[in-house]
C-alpha cells in the first residue's frame, strides 16, 4: 500500500486530535491552577498524542513520531503523579502542541522535517529522559463455545497469528486496518490477512481483522507495534503452541468481555453495522454547488419558455422538475453546512496566549457552537475573528490594576457567540473593557480630514465607517497582538466580500460589541428583482421587509433629506437612480419602494418597477476601481440577462 494516498486523511484526523489536545490543555491549566482533579484531561491528551504517534510512525513521519513519543512520556509521568502540573510544565506542553501541529503540516506537505530538538530537550529536562511505561499486559482472551473463530494457515517456522480489534470510536476503519498491516510488515512477512485487504475500504468492513506474520520471534514487540497504530481496542497474538495439530490451520478466537461473555465481534460472514457518515473532498461539494447553480438558472429559463407555449402537460412536467431541482438544491446546501465550533474551538488557545503575552486576565466564553454555516464561509471568517479577538484583548480589556481602579473584576469577560438571525448568522465578539474612545476617533478623523472640522459627535454607524477605513488607527504604539482599528479594514473588506456586514456598538468604560452578519450560503439566494430604466438589479430577500407604492403623500423632506412616511415610521429614502447615476424619472412617473432592513436600521429604496421574486445564483465580480461599493455580486437571470446584486449594508 502506498501510504502517500492517505496523507490527507492523516492530516484531517490529526487536526481533530490537535483540537482535542489544545482544548484539554486549557482545561488542564485551569484545573491545575485550582488544584482540582486533573486525571480526566490528562487521559484525553495522552490518548490523542498516543494515536498521533502511532499514525505518524506508520506513515513514516519521523519528526512527528519522535515528538509524540517524548510528549507521551511527559504525560505519562503527569498521569502517575510523578510530576505536578506547574506553570513550567504547562508552557512546555503548549509549546509541544504547537510544534506538533507544525511538524504534522510540514510532514504532510512533503517538506523537510521540523527541528524538534529544542522542545525535546525541554521535555526530557522535565522527565529525566524516562520513557513511557510499557503497555499493560494484554487481557487473556480465551476461545470457547459461542466464539467467532477465524481460520488461518499456521505460520511457517517462527511466526505468529494476530487478531486486532479496532476501537468503536475509530472513524477510518479501513485506513486503520491498512496501518495495522503495515506495522506488522515492519517486523515480519504478512502472508495472510482475514478479511482480505481488498475489503478494507468496503462499506461493510467491520472492526476486526486477523493476520499471519511469518519470521517474527518477539511476540511482545509485535503486539506493541499493532497497539501503537492508534484506535486499537485490543490485540491478541498467538504463539506456536496455538497451531493446529500437524502444522495445519490455526484458529484465532474473537475477544471476550467481562465474565466470559463474548463481546460484539464481527465475523467475516455476517453483516456489519452500516456507516452513516462519509468524508468528502470539499472540492466535490463546491463542484456540486456550481452545477446546481447552473441548473437553477436553466430551470428558470425552462419555466419561462414553457409558460410561453401554454401547453398544460409541459407546464405540469416543468413544475415537477422544478420541485425536484429545488429539493436537490436544498439538500446540497444543507450538506455544506457545518457547526461553527469547527473554527471556534481553536480560539480559546489563541485568547489564552494573547492574554498571557499582555499580562491580562481574560475569562473567555463561546456560545452557540452548534449554529451551522456554509463550510466556505466558515473558512473565510476565521481570520477576521482572530483580528477581533486580539483587538478586544489588546485595546479593549484593561490590565487587572486598571480594572480594579474602575471597580471591575480583575479578569475581563470576552464572549464569542453565534446566533441564527432569520436566514443569516450573526457572530458577535463582546468584551467588557474600556470601550472605544469616540472623542479620540473623532480627533483622528478631523486630523486626517475625514470629517467636517465642526463635527462634535460620532454615531455608531459613523464610527464603524471610520474604523473600517484602511490605515485608520487610534493606537499610540504597535503591539505584537493588534490595536483597535488595526486590521479592522481587513475585517470589513473580508466580511463585505462574503455578502455580510459589520456593525460596531461601543459604550465607553463598559465595553464593545462587534457583530458580523453573514448569509448561510454564498451560492444561491432569493431576491426581489427591480428595474431602473432598462437595467435590472437584485435585492436579497433576506433584507426586504415589505414593498410599497410611492406617491407624493408618503414622500417628505426632513432637514434637507427625503424620507418616506410609512404608517408610524419615518424612513430614509434612497433613490436607486441616484446611486447608479441615472437621471431622475419625469414627474408623475409611477415608482415603487422596497423597505430594506439590517439589524436595527431601515431605509426605503425607490425603483421604477418591481418585476418578480426569483432564486438567483451569486457570481463574484470585480467592482470598478474607485467606484461606489454598492454591489455584492452579480447573477444571470432566467432570460439570460445579467443583473447586479445590491449590497444592502452599503445603503444603510
Report whether 165 contacts 208 (CB < 8 A): yes
Secondary structure (3-state) at 142: coil
- DSSP code, position 256: B
Report whether 566 contacts 523 (CB < 8 A): no
Q: Which residues contact 606 (CB under 8 A, 6 or more apart)?
A: 550, 564, 573, 574, 575, 576, 577, 591, 592, 593
- Give the 3-state secondary structure of 492-526: HHHHHHCCCEEEEEEECCCEEEEEEEEECCCCEEE
Helix axes 39-59, 173-185, angle to 10 degrees: 60
CA atoms within 13 A on the CB side of 652: 23
Report whether 362 contacts 356 (CB < 8 A): no
Distance CA 103, CA 67 (A): 9
Distance CA 186, CA 216 (A): 10
Distance CA 168, CA 631 (A): 51
Determine how β-strand 561-566 pairs with β-strand 544-550. Answer: unpaired
Distance CA 27, CA 561 (A): 56
Secondary structure (3-state) at 370: coil
Strand partners, 564: 555, 571
Using left for φ > 0, alpha for ψ between -120 and 50, and beta otherwise, residue 157 falls in left
Strand ranges in 175-284 using DSSP code E only, listed in sequence order: 189-194, 208-214, 232-238, 249-253
Distance CA 42, CA 354 (A): 24
Q: Which residues contact 534 (CB under 8 A, 6 or more apart)?
A: none
Q: Looking at the annotation, which residues are catalytic?
A: 50, 72, 391
What's the grid cell of residue 589? 412617473
Distance CA 577, CA 179 (A): 66
Strand ranges in 279-342 using DSSP code E only, listed in sequence order: 337-339
Strand partners, 256: 262
Using CB atoms within 10 A of its CB, is residue 517 exposed (0-12), middle (13-18) or buried (19+)? buried
Using CB atoms within 10 A of its CB, is residue 580 exposed (0-12), middle (13-18) or buried (19+)? middle
Instruction: Tell which residue, 305, 149, 165, 159, has the closest CA to residue 240.
Output: 159
Distance CA 408, CA 413 (A): 10
Amino acid at each position: 500500500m502506498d501510504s502517500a494516498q492517505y496523507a490527507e486523511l492523516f492530516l484531517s484526523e490529526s487536526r481533530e486530535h490537535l483540537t482535542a489536545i489544545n482544548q484539554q490543555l486549557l482545561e488542564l491549566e485551569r484545573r491545575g491552577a485550582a488544584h482540582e482533579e486533573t486525571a480526566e484531561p490528562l487521559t484525553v491528551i495522552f490518548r490523542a498524542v498516543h494515536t498521533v504517534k502511532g499514525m505518524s510512525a506508520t506513515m513514516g513521519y519521523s519528526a512527528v513520531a519522535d515528538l509524540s513519543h517524548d510528549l507521551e512520556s511527559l504525560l505519562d509521568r503527569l498521569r502517575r503523579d510523578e510530576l505536578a502540573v506547574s506553570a513550567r510544565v504547562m508552557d512546555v506542553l503548549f509549546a509541544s502542541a504547537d510544534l506538533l501541529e507544525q511538524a504534522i503540516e510540514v510532514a504532510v506537505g512533503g517538506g523537510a522535517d521540523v527541528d524538534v530538538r529544542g522542545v525535546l530537550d525541554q521535555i526530557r529536562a522535565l522527565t529525566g529522559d524516562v520513557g513511557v511505561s510499557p503497555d499493560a499486559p494484554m487481557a487473556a482472551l480465551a476461545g470457547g463455545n459461542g466464539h467467532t473463530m477465524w481460520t488461518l494457515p499456521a505460520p511457517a517456522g517462527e511466526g505468529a497469528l494476530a487478531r486486532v480489534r479496532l476501537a468503536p470510536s475509530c472513524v477510518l476503519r479501513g485506513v486503520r486496518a491498512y496501518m495495522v498491516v503495515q506495522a506488522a510488515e515492519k517486523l515480519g512477512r504478512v502472508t495472510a490477512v482475514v478479511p482480505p485487504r481488498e475489503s478494507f475500504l468496503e462499506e461493510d468492513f467491520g472492526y476486526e481483522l486477523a493476520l499471519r506474520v511469518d519470521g517474527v520471534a518477539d511476540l511482545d514487540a509485535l503486539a506493541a507495534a499493532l497497539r501503537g497504530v492508534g484506535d486499537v481496542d485490543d490485540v491478541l497474538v498467538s504463539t506456536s503452541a496455538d497451531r493446529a495439530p500437524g502444522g495445519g490451520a490455526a484458529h484465532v478466537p474473537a475477544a471476550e468481555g467481562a465474565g466470559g461473555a463474548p463481546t460484539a465481534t464481527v465475523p467475516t460472514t455476517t453483516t456489519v453495522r452500516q456507516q452513516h457518515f462519509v468524508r468528502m473532498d470539499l472540492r466535490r461539494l463546491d463542484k456540486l454547488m456550481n452545477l446546481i447553480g447552473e441548473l437553477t438558472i436553466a430551470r428558470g429559463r425552462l419555466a419561462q419558455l414553457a409558460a410561453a407555449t401554454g401547453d398544460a402537460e409541459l407546464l405540469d412536467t416543468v413544475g415537477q422538475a422544478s420541485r425536484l431541482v429545488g429539493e436537490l438544491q436544498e439538500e446540497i446546501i444543507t450538506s455544506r453546512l457545518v457547526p461553527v465550533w469547527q473554527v471556534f474551538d481553536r480560539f480559546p488557545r489563541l485568547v489564552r496566549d494573547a492574554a498571557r503575552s499582555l499580562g491580562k486576565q481574560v475569562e473567555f466564553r463561546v456560545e452557540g457552537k452548534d449554529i451551522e454555516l456554509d463550510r466556505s464561509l466558515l473558512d473565510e471568517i476565521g481570520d477576521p475573528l482572530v483580528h477581533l479577538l486580539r483587538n478586544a484583548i489588546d485595546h479593549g480589556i484593561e490590565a487587572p490594576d486598571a480594572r480594579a481602579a474602575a471597580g471591575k473584576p480583575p479578569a475581563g469577560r470576552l464572549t464569542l457567540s453565534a446566533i441564527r438571525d432569520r436566514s443569516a448568522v450573526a457572530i458577535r465578539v463582546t468584551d467588557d473593557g474600556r470601550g472605544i474612545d469616540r472623542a479620540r476617533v473623532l480627533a483622528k478623523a478631523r486630523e486626517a480630514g475625514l470629517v467636517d472640522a465642526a463635527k462634535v459627535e460620532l454615531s455608531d454607524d459613523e464610527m464603524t465607517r471610520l474604523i473600517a477605513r484602511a490605515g485608520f488607527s487610534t493606537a499610540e504604539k504597535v503591539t505584537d497582538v493588534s490595536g483597535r482599528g488595526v486590521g479592522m479594514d481587513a475585517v470589513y473588506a473580508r466580511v463585505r466580500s462574503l455578502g455580510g456586514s459589520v456593525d460596531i456598538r461601543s459604550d465607553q468604560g463598559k465595553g464593545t460589541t462587534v457583530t458580523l452578519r453573514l448569509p448561510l450560503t454564498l451560492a444561491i439566494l432569493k431576491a426581489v428583482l427591480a428595474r431602473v430604466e432598462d437595467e435590472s438589479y437584485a435585492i436579497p430577500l433576506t433584507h426586504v421587509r415589505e414593498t410599497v407604492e410611492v406617491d407624493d403623500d408618503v414622500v417628505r423632506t426632513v432637514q434637507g433629506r427625503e424620507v418616506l412616511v410609512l404608517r408610524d415610521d419615518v424612513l430614509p429614502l434612497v433613490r436607486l437612480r441616484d446611486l447608479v447615476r441615472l437621471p431622475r424619472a419625469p414627474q408623475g412617473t409611477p415608482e415603487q419602494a422596497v423597505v430594506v432592513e439590517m439589524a436595527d436600521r431601515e431605509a426605503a429604496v425607490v425603483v421604477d418597477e418591481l418585476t418578480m421574486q426569483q432564486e438567483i445564483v451569486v457570481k463574484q465580480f470585480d467592482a470598478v476601481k474607485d467606484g461606489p461599493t454598492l454591489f455584492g455580486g452579480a447573477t444571470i437571470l432566467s432570460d439570460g440577462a445579467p443583473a447586479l446584486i445590491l449590497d444592502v449594508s452599503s445603503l444603510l
